[in-house]
Amino acid sequence: MNGTQHISVVINTYNAEEHLKAVLEAVKDFDEIVICDMESTDQTLDIARSYNCKIVTFPKGNLRIVEPARQFAIDKASSPWVLVVDADEVVTPELRKYLYDAIQKDDCPDAIAIPRKNYFMGRMMHSSYPDYILRFLRRSKCSWPPVIHAAPKVDGNILKIPASRMELAFEHLANDSVADIIRKNNTYSDYEVPRRRKKNYGCMALIYRPAFRFFKSYFLKRGCRDGIPGLIHAVLDAGYQFAIVAKLLEEKQAKQG
């Protein structure tokens, strides 16, 4: 359908039944869909089979993050191009057409960063847009580190879709509650601690890092336009930074004691 160029959609899953049907419906016209499942116990695999997805398994073990399974999933794709989609992200028809048009051109970049629309308390958050994520990749030119929040490493050119092209943005279906965000912040901050040990934060970091994150989210990134949800989201962003620094200081105190 698209000449000699093909795109595989790669989706990592773990108990992803809530949004998976909508996600798969949006990508069913790509050349291949690879589901890399981390031993789901819900209806995830039944839904994937109903869409004739290629299913591979990555042992979950004690993992609470997806990054260790990213490269494994990409390696299982058969197309030269991969679009990595989370199990709660919808690809618009406009984005699909844009990507297929791009790979037909001789000057196509080796990776494309795609904006994403995020939602909280029922509304799109200005403070979280464009939230660029590097997800469209020439498979032979990328590698994905197994580290939380890591972006793929690309040996080549990278293009960013303009933020003004909102019709090309991923639609993030997750509409996390305050409790969800607090829970995720706790999990993610655990994984951030080993990454930031060399920073050697002092006590003042408990104040200036959360304060700057709040300022960035609420003012610089226009969260103030989002009313009460924007204010709450900015405070939660600040709390994430506080948790990281507090855990680092806790670890330092334990070593000194």
- Measured in degrees and rounded to the nearest 5, phi and psi for residue 160 equal -105, 130
Domain enclosing residue 191, as ranges: 178-256
* 112: CATH: 3.90.550.10
Same domain, 139 and 80: yes
**pLDDT the model gives residue 4:** 65
Q: How far apart are CA 222 and CA 213, in angstroms?
A: 13
**pLDDT the model gives residue 253:** 92
Q: Specify if 1 maps to a domain.
A: no
Same domain, 40 and 144: yes
Same domain, 158 and 204: no
Q: How far apart are CA 48 and CA 193, in angstroms?
A: 35
Q: Specify if 147 maps to a domain.
A: yes
Q: What are the DSSP E strand ranges found in 52-99?
A: 54-57, 81-86, 89-90
Same domain, 104 and 132: yes
Task: For residue range 14-56, list pLDDT tens digits in order.
Answer: 999 999 999 999 999 999 999 999 999 999 999 999 999 999 9
Same domain, 102 and 222: no
Q: How far apart are CA 141 and CA 51, in angstroms?
A: 29
Same domain, 124 and 188: no
Same domain, 149 and 32: yes
Same domain, 203 and 81: no
Burial of 189 (0-12, 13-18, 19+ CB in 10 A): buried
The whole-chain average pLDDT of the chain stands at: 95
Same domain, 105 and 42: yes
Same domain, 167 and 196: no
pLDDT band with cut points at 50, 70 and 90 for residue 1: very low
Query: Whole-prediction pTM value?
Result: 0.90
DSSP 99-161: HHHHHTSTT--SEEEE-EE-EETTEE-GGG-S--EEEEEEGGGEE--SSTTPPPEESS-EEE-
Q: Specify if 2 maps to a domain.
A: no
- How many domains does the chain fold into? 2
